[in-house]
Amino acid sequence: MTLALAGCIGSDGDVGSPLVPQRAAALSRDPTVFVATTRLPVGNPLQAPWFSAQRSPDLIFAKANMKAPDRSMLGRVTLSDWDIRSVDDVVRKRAAQAFAQEALGQDVVLYIHGYRESFETATVSAAQLSSGIGFTGVTGLFTWPSAGSTFSYVSDRESAMWSRDALQDLLTALANSPSGGRVHIVAHSMGTLLTLETLRMLRASGGESAMSRIGAVVLAAPDIDIDLFARGVEHLGADAQKITVISSTNDRALAVSSRLAGGIVRAGAADRGRLEELGVKVADASDFGGGIINHDLFLSNKDVQQVIKRAIERAR
């Protein structure tokens, strides 16, 4: 099944080829997540839950120091997971440049979360993703002010789109870094709309030079109107080839979103052929969901994580 899913990505000739030899995953050496956020900090000095659902007028950079899961027998029984120990090195001025300076010379995997996420759940997901794919560079998170509530769909969408300029500033700073590596983006659900719109803005403002520093762009279960998705991809031109869509026709969350949108199909639940016509790579994970929702397979399914890993390896 792993090979079958990997094969869904396309026929570019390198699917199934050996991966480049890897060093140990970076989080195993230094369990730190670099955070860029448009959320307001909590407390002075900063304290848990660290960042709220309120909007910050400026982008903020911080480092989340993580506690790795307990791999002992007890840890496996209690389902130990990543956790936040502390958050420090908070920078409120020129935050995008501070992030780029800290990441200087290294590849970055930047996770952009979806709807109904708190700062803590988004940070844990970033660590899970990076650890799951064995990423050897910097683990980054762009977290926008989701309300973290089931009933906040509309306000979350507006907060995500409100954060476009801040995300563009971050990507521009990383692209302009004189000795930086590539930025690989993994966006989930509603975060994929924010990502697609920001990449369109980045291409319009920075051109090929800025986009050349963007590596793989993985859109997991994109919660985007299929027509809006097609228009966004069209504006990216040749850079649309960087995109891999992880789709699933039995994603229950996207089915609900489609009903809320008047029945318009979401890109993450669209037919594979329709997506491939747009020039993006597609991994159809419909047969890999064993749960009720099937909306976060990129975090819970090892085979789907291999899709992300291979996309990043090809971009390198």
Q: What are the DSSP calls for the chain, one per residue?
A: -HHHHHHTT--SS-TTSPPPP----HHHH--EEEEEEEEEE-TTTT-TT-EEEEEEEEEEEEEEEEE----SHHHHHTT---EEEEEEEEE-SSHHHHHHHHTTTS-EEEEE--SS--HHHHHHHHHHHHHHHT--SEEEEEE------TT-HHHHHHHHHHTHHHHHHHHHHHHH-TT---EEEEEETTHHHHHHHHHHHHHHHHHHHHHTTEEEEEEES--SBHHHHHHHHHHHGGGGGGEEEEE-TT-HHHHHHHHHTTSPPBGGGS-HHHHHTTT-EEEE-GGG--SSS---HHHH-HHHHHHHHHHHHHH-
Q: Quick check: 232 pLDDT over 80?
A: yes
pLDDT of residue 25: 72
pLDDT of residue 216: 98
Q: Quick check: 153 pLDDT over 50?
A: yes
pLDDT of residue 252: 78
| Domains along the chain with CATH numbers | 2-9+24-315 (3.40.50.1820)
SS3 309: helix
* Choice among 118-122, 165-169, 207-211, 285-289 with the minimum mean pLDDT: 285-289
Q: What's the average model confidence in pLDDT over 10-20?
A: 37
Q: What is the pLDDT of residues 100-119, one digit of tens each?
A: 999 998 999 999 999 999 99
* Choice among 24-28, 170-174, 233-237 with the minimum mean pLDDT: 24-28
pLDDT of residue 294: 57
Q: Report how far residue 145's alpha carbon sits from residue 58's, in angstroms, rounded to the nearest whole number.
A: 12
Structure tokens at 158: 């507006």
